[in-house]
Amino acid sequence: MLRINCPFCGIRDEEEFDCGGEAHVTRPENPANLSDDEWSHYLFNKVNTKGILLERWRHTYGCRQWFNMARHTVSHEIIEIYPMGSFPSFNGMNVENVVKEVEA
Ligand SMILES: [Zn+2]
């Protein structure tokens, strides 16, 4: 079980949280203008990387606030928790490539 440090409440057990999927996925401005393949890509094609993944999390059974988390998908190590609308700042990784992978 993960122990997650909610930026609003402090450290709590994982069972109080829900994962909202990948972070930094932008909804297309005009979905009606997309082809079925483009819309399908937006809805269903996710990175599912073996390594560091940027995810959205919600403290569902606490403050109900959303935040972002950089987490290693194999070790489950939480690299960083950071606010919605911002990007991670951790050192030692090429953050731009991680974000590009998520946005691709
Ligand atoms: Zn909270």
Tens digit of pLDDT for each residue in 13-25?
999 999 999 999 8
The total number of structural domains in the chain stands at: 1
Question: Is pLDDT above 90 for 102?
Answer: no
Q: What's the CA-to-centroid distance between 41 and ligand 1, angstroms?
A: 32
Q: Are 71 and 55 in contact (CB under 8 A)?
A: yes
59 inside domain: yes
Q: Could you list which residues have their CB under 5 Å from ion ligand 1?
A: 6, 8-9, 59, 62-63
- Full domain range(s) for residue 84: 19-25+41-104
Domain-embedded: residue 30? no
Q: Using pLDDT thresholds of 50, 70 and 90, give the confidence band for residue 99.
A: low
Q: Is residue 94 part of a domain?
A: yes
Mean pLDDT of 63-82: 95
Helices (H), 1-104: 36-44, 95-103
Residue 96 has pLDDT above 70, yes or no: no
Give distance in angstroms: CA of 69 to centre of ligand 1.
Answer: 13
Residue 100's pLDDT band (boundaries 50, 70, 90)?
A: low
CA dihedral 36, 22, 19, 80 (to 10 degrees): -170
- Domain CATH code at residue 74: 3.30.2270.10
- pTM higher than 0.85 for the full model? no
Residue 7 Cα to ligand 1 middle (Å): 7
- The verdict on residue 76 lying in a domain is yes
Per-residue model confidence as pLDDT tens digits over 43-61: 998 888 898 999 999 999 9
